[in-house]
Amino acid sequence: MNKTTAGVISIFLAACATSTLQTSKEGLVEFAGAQKNIFATGKAEQAISVATLAASADSFGVGAVAGLDGEITVFQGKSYVTKVRGTGYTLDHSHDHGAVFAVWSQQSNWREEPVPEGIRGYVAIQQFIKARAAAAGIDAGKPFPFRLVGTPTEVKWHINVDLTEGKPITPELFTKSKANYVAKGQTMDIIGFYSENHPGVFISAYAPAIKPDSGVKNAMHIHMVSGDGKSAGHIDDLTLAPGTKLLLPQD
């Protein structure tokens, strides 16, 4: 095969990959893949690349690495991919990773407001974000991104790590396949996506911070990037501290 033929084939294959990429757009976000597909197939196969999530300097996104091998967070166009290795974890900014499911948005303009001191826990934060989005003219019936900036009192977070031992992935094995961490009094940027209509897609139907018998449904998918840029991952629970700011999209 000569170089010209090889080049044509490469272009063709790239075009095919692009044409088969299945993404959806709704409200102020785009998304690809779905958490429920993991349980339907027993596999965590790639649905989209990190390069797509971090396509521009105003990109924000969250997702789970294919194969249950880490977490993907995109903040201002920069990717933070964390993977458990040995007794610790690695973090890199390359685009050489794929997500089994992800949600992202491109937003250049944000309106900032203080979070009242009485809003501290997960459920209260979720309710506050919905109320403030509606007050800002955002259709809270459709998915939208948000940000929190501050120094939380405590954040419980995790990185996915494959502990299935080659077995088909069930909800139980998915819950087990995590390395858990706790950050206290650490400045961080929190990137989140709100939706009441996408459980099992990019919103988990189960959130550790919400009691199963409470009647409250999870409507957030939130990740954090530490202020020093050395850690990033999925937030399971958090307690805010005074001085936290909420940022919502602004036209």
* Domain end call among 106, 140, 156: 106
Q: For the chain, what is the domain count? A: 2
Question: Are 198 and 245 members of one domain?
Answer: yes
Q: Which two tokens stand for residue 175?
A: 């819950």
Question: Are 121 and 50 members of one domain?
Answer: no
* Domain end call among 81, 106, 131: 106
Question: Are 139 and 62 members of one domain?
Answer: no
* Domain end call among 80, 106, 132: 106
Distance between CA atoms of residues 128 and 138, nearest Å: 13
Residue type, 95: H
- Give the 3-state secondary structure of residue 176: helix
| 124 falls within a domain | yes
pLDDT at 251: 79
Question: Are 96 and 126 members of one domain?
Answer: no
**CATH value at residue 191:** 3.30.1330.80
- Give the 3-state secondary structure of residue 135: helix
| 4 falls within a domain | no
pTM here is 0.91
pLDDT at 157: 98
| 8 falls within a domain | no
| Ramachandran angles phi, psi of 224, nearest 5° | -130, 155
Q: What is the DSSP letter of 66?
A: G
Q: What distances in angstroms separate CA 113 from CA 107, 129, 134, 155, one per listed residue?
A: 17, 11, 14, 21
Residue span of the structural domain in which 46 resides: 23-106
Distance between CA atoms of residues 63 and 28, nearest Å: 17
Question: Are 138 and 162 members of one domain?
Answer: yes
pLDDT in single tens digits along all 251 residues of the chain: 554 444 444 434 344 443 346 899 999 999 999 999 999 999 999 999 999 999 999 999 999 999 999 999 999 999 999 999 999 999 999 999 999 999 999 999 999 999 999 999 999 999 999 999 999 999 999 999 999 999 999 999 999 999 999 999 999 999 999 999 999 999 999 999 999 999 999 999 889 999 989 999 999 999 999 999 999 999 999 999 999 999 999 97
Question: Are 116 and 54 members of one domain?
Answer: no
Residue type, 149: V
